[in-house]
Amino acid sequence: MRTLSSRMSLGRNEIRDISISPDCLNLTTLLLTRSGTLVNISGKFFQSMPKLVILDLSTNINLAKLPEEVSNLVSLRHLDLSRTCLENLPEGLGKLIQLRYFALRGVRTRPSLSVISSLLNIEMLLFDTTFVNMELIDVIKLMENLKGLGISIKSTVVLKHLLSIPRLASCIQHITLERVISKDGPLQLETAMASLRSIEIQGGTISDIMEHTRYGCISTCFQNLSVVKISRVNGMQDLSWLVFAPNLISIHVMGPSRELQEIISREKVSGILNERSSIVPFRKLREIQLRFLMELKSIYWERLEFPSLKRVTIFYSPSSGTLRAPRLSPNILRGASSKKRKLSQIQHSPSNGKKRMAGESSKGPLISGATIQVPRAGIEAPLIPKNPAIQLIPAMNRKQKGKRASTPQQTSTSQQGNVKHKESH
């Protein structure tokens, strides 16, 4: 097989095994991505690709082995192996000294120290699923051309060591912290704030991300931060540092947590959010998910516009018994309504038990239900008051879903200003 093409894309295919030996002397870009069936690539497949610069094998979720012949692609500058199930990586990858971009996101293996230490021209290094240790950080700091780093850490000692190297800390774009325990104070991520694009915290005990007494002294902010995911973290009472993320797009916060009471604390930020301040939180926020946060009272203490908000998920679902629901009211979503509403849905799973949760009225919980009924983008919406009641459809079990098509729906409307709850009979 011979091809004169310089670019080739074989994405989203049903190829299971690649055993051919194509003659691709002019090929510079090969995109072989998003295949759920690919399990094997023969080494001879790469034998005649001397000019290959970009190789993307990402999202081949069943690809468990990479042939050693990949190490002979000495012109390679971009290698993406993200979201594969690779068990080992060829030791010869260290010969790819021209490599500038190396991604192993979502992969549970990582190159050996000898391989990493050979890739001194790397500019972007992403392996934010495999945990790093002190030795690996000491190797990475030798990469003088490094501009972006994606990393996963499960040790407070390792995190502090990383943040103590200013040049490395300023390169962090994606960071995952798993079961990190920081009882002696905030994590002090200020040194990484300039380049950070996403942060995920799973488990552990953390009081805060940064010292709130420094809020008024910070001239820069999390300018590039767009995604925040926090789950099962103890110790946090608020996430006020998010006000320094003007380009935030997505917030996912999952409990169980009986400590988190506010997303933005008035006490911590009111001093800097004055009339002269240019900080306006959540202007670009598209999605917010709040799950199992039993003490959460508010996102913000007063009316705040969410002009880009598309989706809100509020989820708390005790399986039985009586459990106090979060003290949420429609005011938690102040600003989500406007003359042309863009908000597409609110999802929430109410209690599965027969007993009502404390805080519910006889007509339904304080906030429950699934989908807020709003016009979609591009459709003219009627004029809506500034703080309208929120019309909700309760989540249905399987039996109710089966009856939905044949059973008429009745709408019961509560008093003005309360939640409108739509039920299926």
List the domain boundaries for the chain: 1-122
The rounded distance, in Å, linking the Cα atoms of 79 and 126 is: 11
- In 3-state terms, the chain is what percent helix, strand and coil (to 5)? 15, 20, 60
pTM of the model: 0.75
The predicted-structure confidence for 100-140, as pLDDT tens digits, reads as follows: 999 999 898 888 899 999 999 999 999 877 788 999 999 99
Residues paired with residue 182 on neighbouring β-strands, in sequence order? 206
Residue 138 corresponds to which tokens in the numbers above?
A: 């000491």
pLDDT band (50, 70, 90) for residue 389: very low
Average pLDDT over residues 181-190: 80
pLDDT at 217: 56
Single-letter amino acid code for the residue at 343: L
Which stretches does DSSP call E strand in 284-326? 287-293, 311-315
What is the average pLDDT value for the chain, to the nearest integer?
A: 76
391 within 8 A of 338, measured Cβ to Cβ = no
Nearest CA to 162 out of 144, 182, 180, 136 is that of 136
pLDDT band (50, 70, 90) for residue 158: very high
What's the CATH fold of domain 1-122? 3.80.10
* Per-residue b or e along 14-36, where b marks 16 or more CB atoms closer than 10 Å to that residue's CB: eeeebeeebebeebbbbbbbbbe
The predicted-structure confidence for 69-99, as pLDDT tens digits, reads as follows: 999 999 999 999 999 999 889 999 999 999 9
Q: Residue 374 CA to chain centroid, in angstroms?
A: 26
CA dihedral 416, 289, 351, 396 (to 10 degrees): 80
152 within 8 A of 174, measured Cβ to Cβ = no
29 within 8 A of 7, measured Cβ to Cβ = yes
With 90 as the cut, is the pLDDT of residue 419 above it? no
Nearest CA to 71 out of 104, 42, 46 is that of 46
In angstroms, how far is the first alpha carbon of the chain from the final one? 64
With 90 as the cut, is the pLDDT of residue 53 above it? yes
